[in-house]
Amino acid sequence: MLEDIDETTDAEAHEAEISGAITQRPEGETCVGHEGKSSKARNRGRLLVADWLIARGMKFSVKGKPDSNGRTVYALEACPFNPTHAEARITQEPGGKLAATCPHESCRRLGWKAFRSTIGEPQMVHYESAPQGDGVPEPSLEKRPTVEPDPKPVILIDKYEVCLARSLDMITDRLKETGAYFVRAGKLVRIDHSGIFTVLKAEELQGQVSAFAAVRVMTGKHLADVPLPKEYAKTWLHNPLQASRLSQITHFTRNPVYTSDWRISPPGFDASTGIYYAGPRMRARAGTERLGKLLKDFCFKNEASRTNYVAMLMTAILMPRFIGSHPAALLIGNQPGIGKTILAQILAILRDGQGCVMTASYNPNDEEFEKRLGAIVRSGQTTLLIDNAKGGPRSACIDSPCLERTITDHIVSFRLLKESANISVENSLIVCITANTLNISDDLIKRSMTVSLEWTEGNPKKRTFSMADPEAYAADHREELIGELLGMVELWRSKNEPRSKARSRFDKKGWAPMVGGILEASGFANLGGNGEDAAQEMNPATREFGKLVAVLAGRAEKTWTSTELVKLADRHNILSAQLNGSTLAERATSFGMLASKYVGDWFGMPDGSDARMMRDSTTRPTRYSLERGGDASGLNP
């Protein structure tokens, strides 16, 4: 049983806490000090128990009639110390005196004050004024210090009487009450006006809990206000059951997106989809006037490059459909200063409302490169800009398993610099790689769309845009530009959602047919049409393999073994850097491994036709053949 308070009414105790001058007298009499004099204890305000419990989210019922002592009984659905106890109750006498009871032995020693603090201290609005009594003058409030009651809800910790699970439940309850805490990719996150932040360390949770909750720890028979103990914070962060009680974010975005049923996501958290849109409501707009004005001065090498760039902008609008299944953007120029980085920053502005504050340089040390990307992701950016990547015929090939995972994994996880914890997010990241000449692995090329810029009119430093600052234009007209992208989707839907025949090398969820269809409905054609040419330009192995296919196209033989193809490559000085081994057998094995990356891919021939190598593994040894024809765009038909 939680013991009755005989010394004073709850209202008197509340007033006494404010005045800070309680003096105990025999037989339950309590006096409040006032200018060195005493006055008889009086009820200065009756607690409105129902209002208090409702405000604190407590579920209860009120017994129809007072008990045998005339007290009103409030039966709680669950004891605040242990939710498995269903017999806890609060009673209130006609004069306002309160008591709390629970039949379980584990609740006895905590007392009324602990009971009240655990639920959450009543505020002034939960009291009603009592009529004046026998003429005893009311102590002057002007002569008493004014101390407002602590409005923070309480987390109670008593390792002897309150089970760990109950204390963890209280932490979760307090997190939920703020409306700012969610779980994203298994990690606790806090969202406010400045962005989204992942809580990874116990020290971070300790400090944040102090801002919105009072942590009270039982020491002996007394409650002490202290910071959240580190071991409790650490246990909470590693407790998936507690994390599951918070709302789960499936996609965090600062630009509006389409849901799976083609609704434009509303601002805030949408519980039905798990999408959190941190931005204003936007509407679809007809036409592409703003978009055309923004892009007209960029020297796209071909139509496909311009379409590929708009496709990356459209991907941001459709992101919930393509989590972990959308390409990166390779922004390639024939010389510096022609707008590659500007295009990447415009993409970031439309996504996040600002350009990339943090960028990354390519680092062949994949572990260090991963830590840099992790730092950017932790900052809240959704566009990863690997700017001015160094590559070219004489440079090492850009080949990063970390970058490949960042493009293809559904959930991406990064190690952090000087941290033992990892940061994880749903893969709504868009990777942009800018370079002048690029030597890039075939795996990365297959995961990317190429946007080529080409300037042939002299010194690029002398070129000017018709608008003074394209990035500022994108920021100033962000709502209109996003509205036009939404309008393109609405136009496509009004035409019964036609799919495009476009195919990308990385297309697990039908990205290219849908995005290509949307763009074609608004006049942007040839999505991915520069794929094969770009692959041969950027990857030496692809270029060399294409040369071998062209040699085979001019020969009369129909099939070849790996050994025969190695001899043919040596004769034409092809693939000399790619075929490893000191013996013919070793180099033939190396050829088989290399060919596995290109079998079935179309290559452009000097006469304008296409050809691809096929493999018959049913024969011993394996034999290769050539198939002519295919799509002139260089993509698989």
Confidence of residue 396 (pLDDT cuts 50, 70, 90): low
Beta strands (DSSP E) in 77-180 are 89-92, 98-101, 127-128, 154-157
What pLDDT does residue 21 have?
28
Q: What is the pLDDT of residue 40?
A: 37
176 lies in the same domain as 308: no
Same-domain pairing of 520 and 543: no
Instruction: For residues 216-220, give the mean pLDDT.
Output: 79
pLDDT tens digits, one per residue of 236-281: 999 999 999 999 999 999 999 999 999 999 999 999 999 999 999 9
Domain CATH code at residue 517: 3.40.50.300
Whether 528 and 543 share a structural domain: no
**End-to-end C-alpha distance for the chain, whole angstroms:** 78
DSSP string, 532-598: HHHHHHH-HHHHHHHHHHHHHHT-S-SEEEHHHHHHHHHHTT-STTT---SSHHHHHHHHHHHHHHH
Q: What is the per-residue pLDDT for 462?
A: 67
Beta pairing class for 383-386 and 430-435: parallel
pLDDT of residue 42: 41
When mean pLDDT is compared across 82-86, 171-175, 266-270, the lowest value belongs to 82-86
pLDDT, residue 304, reads: 93
- 8 A C-beta contact, residue 88 and residue 73: no
CA 610/CA 632 separation, integer angstroms: 6
Shared domain for 206 and 347, answered yes or no, is no
DSSP conformation letters of 277-330: E-S------SS-HHHHHHHTTS-BSSHHHHHHHHHHHHHHHTGGGGTT---EEE
CA–CA dist 164, 17 (Å, integer): 30
User: What pLDDT, on the 0 to 100 scale, is given for residue 159?
Assistant: 79
Q: Which of 142-146, 334-338, 408-412 has the highest mean pLDDT?
A: 408-412
Rounded to 10 degrees, the C-alpha dihedral 12/15/17/18 comes to: 180
| Residue 532 or 165, more confident | 165
**Judging by DSSP bridges, how do beta strands 195-199 and 187-192 pair with one another?**
antiparallel
* pLDDT greater than 60 at residue 29: no
Examine the pLDDT at 319 and tell me if it is beyond 50.
yes
Q: Is 82 inside a domain boundary?
A: yes
Same domain, 525 and 543: no
Residues 208-224, mean pLDDT to the nearest whole number: 83
Tell whether 452 and 342 lie within a shared domain. yes
Helix/strand/coil percentages in the chain, nearest 5 = 35, 20, 45
State the residue range of the domain holding 595.
Answer: 539-628
Q: What is the pLDDT of residue 617?
A: 85
Mean pLDDT value of segment 537-544: 77
In a domain, 510, yes or no: yes
pLDDT (tens digit per residue) in 547-598: 899 999 988 889 999 999 999 999 999 998 889 888 999 999 999 998 988 8
In this predicted structure, what is the pLDDT of residue 109?
A: 67
129 pLDDT band, cuts 50/70/90, is low
Q: Looking at the structure, do residues 70 and 135 belong to the same domain, yes or no?
A: yes
536 pLDDT band (50/70/90 cuts)? low
86-100, 438-452, 511-525, 570-584, range with the lowest pLDDT: 438-452
What is the pLDDT confidence band of residue 485, given thresholds at 50, 70 and 90? very high
Query: Does residue 497 lie in a domain region?
Result: yes
User: Is residue 96 situated within a structural domain?
Assistant: yes
Residue 16, pLDDT above cutoff 70:
no
- Rg of the chain, C-alpha, whole Å: 35
Please give the average per-residue pLDDT across 314-342, as a whole number.
Answer: 92
Are 189 and 62 in a shared domain?
A: no
User: Which tokens hold the place of 319?
Assistant: 């992101």
CA 494 vs. chain centroid, Å, equals 32
- Indicate whether 78 pLDDT > 50: yes
If asked whether residues 29 and 103 sit together in one domain, one would say yes
**Beta-bridge partners for 91:** 73, 99
Q: Which of 481, 501, 532 is the last residue of a domain?
A: 532
Taking residue 397's Cβ as centre, other Cβ atoms within 10 Å add up to 16
Tell me the pLDDT band of 437, cut-offs 50, 70 and 90.
low
> Do 526 and 593 fall within a single domain?
no
Query: Which residue has better confidence, 213 or 41?
Result: 213
CA dihedral 401, 406, 407, 408 (to 10 degrees): 80
For 488-525, the pLDDT digits (tens) are: 999 999 999 999 988 776 667 889 999 999 999 999 99
Longest dimension (CA), the chain: 120
The whole-angstrom separation of Cα 279 and Cα 267 is: 6
Residue in the structure block whose two tokens are 């390409």: 327
532, 561, 588 - which closes a domain: 532
What is the Cα–Cα distance from 247 to 269, expressed in whole angstroms? 9
Q: Based on the domain organization, do 309 and 412 belong to the same domain? A: yes
Asked whether residue 576 is domain-assigned, the answer is yes
Residue 414 and residue 512 in one domain: yes
Looking at residue 390, what is its pLDDT?
65
What confidence score (pLDDT) does residue 635 get?
38
At residue 41, does pLDDT exceed 60?
no
pTM: 0.69
Element (H, E) at 486: helix 478-494
* pLDDT over threshold 60, residue 600: yes
Average pLDDT of span 220-226: 76
Least confident of 47-51, 216-220, 345-349: 216-220
Whether residue 269 is contained in a domain is answered as no
Residue 235 has pLDDT above 90, yes or no: yes
Query: Which of 143, 170, 189 corresponds to the end of one domain?
Result: 143
Sheet holding 251-253, edge to edge: 251-253, 275-277, 268-270
What are the b/e assignments for 40-73, b being 16+ CB within 10 Å?
Answer: ebbbbbbbbbbebbeebebebeeeeeeeeeebbb
Residue 604 and residue 629: Cα distance in Å, rounded?
10
Q: Quick check: is 265 in a domain?
A: no
Residue 543 located in a structural domain: yes
The rounded distance, in Å, linking the Cα atoms of 613 and 549 is: 7
State percent of the chain over pLDDT 90.
Answer: 46
Distance, in Å, from the CA atom of 509 to the CA atom of 297, rounded to the nearest integer, reads 33
How many domains does the chain fold into? 4
**Residue-averaged pLDDT of the chain:** 82
- Is residue 96 within 8 A of residue 9, CB to CB? The reply is yes
Q: Categorize the per-residue pLDDT at 628 as very low, low, confident or very high, splitting at 50, 70 and 90.
A: confident
Which is nearest to 303 in space by CA: 145, 140, 520, 76?
520
Closest CA to 120 of 222, 244, 216: 216
- The pLDDT value given to residue 375: 92
Say what the pLDDT of residue 151 is. Answer: 63
pLDDT tens for each residue of 343-395: 999 999 999 999 999 999 888 888 999 999 999 999 899 999 998 876 544 45
